[in-house]
Structure formats: C-alpha cells, structure tokens
Amino acid sequence: MKKGVDARVCVIGAGPSGITAAKNLLQVGIKNVVVYEKGDQVGGNWIYAPRLSHSSVYETTHVISSKKLSEYSDYPMPEDYPDYPSHKQILAYFQNYAREFGVTEHVRFNTEVCKAEKQPDETWRLTLHDGTVEVFDYLLVANGHHWNPRYPGYPGKFTGEYLHSHEFKSAAPFRDKRVLVIGGGNSACDIAVETGRISAFTAISMRRGYYIVPKLVLGKPADMLNDLVVWLPDFIRKPLLYASLWLSVGDYKDYGLERPNHGILQQHLTMNSELLYFLRHGRVKPRRDIARFDGKNVHFVDGTVEAYDVVVAATGFVITHPFFEKSFLDYSDGDVPLYLRTFHPDHPTLFFIGLVQPLGCIWPLADAHAKLAANAIVGNYTPPADMRQRIAADVEARKRQFFKADRHTIEVEYHKHLHALQREFPANAPRWERRGDSL
C-alpha cells in the first residue's frame, strides 16, 4: 500500500462532491487520481434530461441556496449569475470548475463501479461494469444521495398514475389533470407550483407543519440574511429568524397549512417564494396527511375524500452505496456514524464527501470534507484518537436538535458544520489562489 503523494486514489462520482474531492487531492500533490463516473459528463444530479435518468433535476429547477453561499471556496460564481442560478448555469459552473482545476482529465466517463471491497491491507479492490478490476490505496465516496427514491407507505392502492418526484421532468404532461403532490420539502413545493400553473386541480398533502421560507426576505436572499446574524448565540438568533419570517409570511394557518410544532432549526427548511402565493390564489390547495388510497380516490386524515389522476410522491431519497455489500456498510436506515461526516472509525482509507443534508448548500461543505480527507492522505492531518466518542456525541446532538425523520440522519447546520471542519484544517494545507470570474 502506497501512502502520501504516491498513493493511488479513487473517487466514485463526478458530481459536485466528486469533482471537489478530486480537485483537493490534486491540490495536495497526489497525481494518481481516478474518478469513476457512470454518466458521460461532469455534473451528477445537475445534468438535466427530459427522460428518467440519474438526475432529479427538472426543467425549471433553480438552486434553493444563494450563489454566494453555494460556490466553492476558491471558485466564485460569475458576477452576472442571478442570486438563484438555474440548473443550466449551475451545470456550466461545475464543468468549468472541473476544467479549471484539471479534474476532467482524471475522470473515466461511462464507467460504473459495481463493487468496492476492502482488502486486508486496507487497500480497495474495485470491480467495474465491464469486469475490470482495479486496486486503490484510498477510496473517496461521492456518489450523492438524491437519486434513489424513497416511497411512502399508505394503506390501499392508487390506480391512477403514481410517480416519485425523481421522475418529474416538466409540468407539461399534467395539463388539465387532477394532481396530488405528497410532501412539504423543496421538491414537493416546486412541483405543486409548476403543475398548479396548468393542471385542472393541484393539491399538496403535508403530514405536518413545515417552515416554508421565501427565497427573498427583506429584499435579500434568505440565507444571506441569516449569514449576517449567524455569529449570534442561538437564544438571540432564533427570535430574529422567527421575527423576520413572521414579517414575511405571517401565520401559516392563513394559507390553510398547519403550524410547525417544532423549532425553526429542528427541521430541514423549505425555500419557496411561490407556494404561499399559489395557495392564496387558489392554484394549489392545501391538504392534510393521507389516510389511505382507494382506486383513484384519496382519503385524508381529516375525512376529506377526493379523486385524482396523478399522485407525485416528493418524499425524499434513500442513502445508497450500491457498490458496498450491505453487511459491510449500509446507511439506508438509521444513524450515519462518521467523524465530521467524512471519516469512518473502522476504515482509515475510506472517506465520504458531501454526505450531508444541510440547512444550506452541500457543495462548500463537500469542498471542506475533501480538503480534510486529502490532507489526511498526505499526512498533514490526523483525526483525533477519541474519534468514536466524538462521533457518538455528534449523533446524540443531532438527535436532540432535529426531530426524527429519514432525512435528518445526515442533517447539519451549514455554518456550524463548516466552521467545525475549518477548525480542523491543518496550517500547512496546500492552497491555490482563488480563481476569478472565468466562465
């Protein structure tokens, strides 16, 4: 097994997390870097296709975090990008980032990793889709977690068209249909708005109250406004967040929605400026949780019964690493016990990049994960000896802060997690100059 800059390192995935993983490996001087990507281009989930694909991006997708808090630390988004860029602009940003830092030449496109097996000497044996076997000293996993649909379980059977939000590509097929969207997250609200423009009837079913936050608050991107007060202690910051949200939205009951029964930082926030507008204009109807299906009829817990042509389940995704045997590693259910969401206590040559669901954007956090992993490989950083205890404390802290839900097993607060990572950056970590507007 080779160590340091002579190591052979594999990255699985050339999406936003994979390309920053490779960039950071190159930055510390590792030259033997291979990125396996089963698609034909850089971009991962941000490669829009009008047909069902790995990507969950649809025709009108824009980011839900502002560009200033979504960009990589040393590669700013172009000045002419709007506050919330489109999927086309984001894809161009990722592809230019990969070219700028020399990542693209290390990517082997149209190559799927079917099996990854740890060897007794801590190296990794990878079997590719064509049967080829490759051995690496280190493995960085960056295959994303927004691609394997999680479906809800309700009694009965719906006999109309039933699909997951992952399959939604545009609103056009839903013209003049009766549509029910399940969920209260970002995808659910976006799809309800888009279908609400052209459907005969669109409703959105939420099992609980959600904090639906406009993308612009007091004339600024909502996350930028939070950025101004993030340094304040929570007992001061939270009342300010509640006050700004109340001034912008008012009472959720006025929109026909349930009030959240948890704190504003205890659940993944939904960033959407249009849903509340559509609710008040009658283009989207609020509905309670579903009790059961009966043919095309949907029975809700408040006794309402309505017929629908289409049900779209925007109910999240299962964390999936299909190249690992489940007996070796399976994060599809339950806790994800990693130090700083990057280091596994039992596998020192294995790193996870971007395996977080932040109150904010993943990409700058993935960049920080990758920086620590790369510096660990070359010996600039050593995880603490009490890693297991810290992991256990972090898992318990997460459980106390966020209420129990599948999506919250990897939930973090953007600024707190980023600062925790930055505190670990070694002083001798190699740096590259911040790139300018190069798109």
pLDDT (tens digit per residue) in 39-67: 999 999 999 988 877 778 889 999 999 99
Between 181 and 217, the more confident residue is: 181
Tell me whether the CATH fold assigned to 4-148+317-424 matches the one assigned to 161-313: yes
- The pair of structure tokens assigned to 311 is 């049900």
Q: Report the 3 state secondary structure along 338-385.
A: CECCCEECCEEEEEECCCCEEECCCHHHHHHHHHHHHHHHCCCCCCCC
Sign of CA dihedral 174, 203, 58, 224: positive
Residues 186-228: pLDDT tens digits?
999 999 999 999 999 999 999 999 999 999 988 889 988 888 8
Least confident of 11-20, 128-137, 143-152, 315-324: 143-152
Between 131 and 435, the more confident residue is: 131
Least confident of 12-21, 80-89, 140-149, 321-330: 140-149
Q: Where are the alpha helices (DSSP H) in 130-274?
A: 186-196, 222-229, 234-249
By CB neighbour count within 10 A (0-12 exposed, 13-18 middle, 19+ buried), where does 90 fall?
buried
Q: Which of 149, 146, 54, 145 is nearest to 355 (CA)?
A: 145
The average pLDDT across 387-399 equals: 93
Question: What confidence category does residue 15 fall into, taking pLDDT thresholds of 50, 70 and 90?
Answer: very high
Question: What confidence category does residue 268 fall into, taking pLDDT thresholds of 50, 70 and 90?
Answer: confident
Pairing of strands 113-118, 124-128: antiparallel
Average per-residue pLDDT for the chain? 93
- Phi, psi torsion values for 62, nearest 5 degrees: -125, 160
Q: Which of 8, 45, 30, 4 is nearest to 126 (CA)?
A: 8
Query: Which pLDDT does position 427 carry in this prediction?
Result: 94
Q: Which CATH class is domain 4-148+317-424?
A: alpha beta
- The pair of structure tokens assigned to 305 is 């019964």
Architecture of domain 161-313: 3-Layer(bba) Sandwich (3.50)
Residues 78-94: pLDDT tens digits?
999 999 999 999 999 99
Q: Which helix (H) or strand (E) holds 10?
A: strand 9-12
Give the residue extent of every domain in the chain.
Answer: 4-148+317-424, 161-313
Query: Which pLDDT does position 439 carry in this prediction?
Result: 40
Q: Which of 156, 195, 157 is nearest to 178 (CA)?
A: 195
Query: Which pLDDT does position 436 carry in this prediction?
Result: 56
Mapping DSSP to helix (H, G, I), strand (E, B) and coil, where does residue 36 land?
strand
This prediction's pTM? 0.93
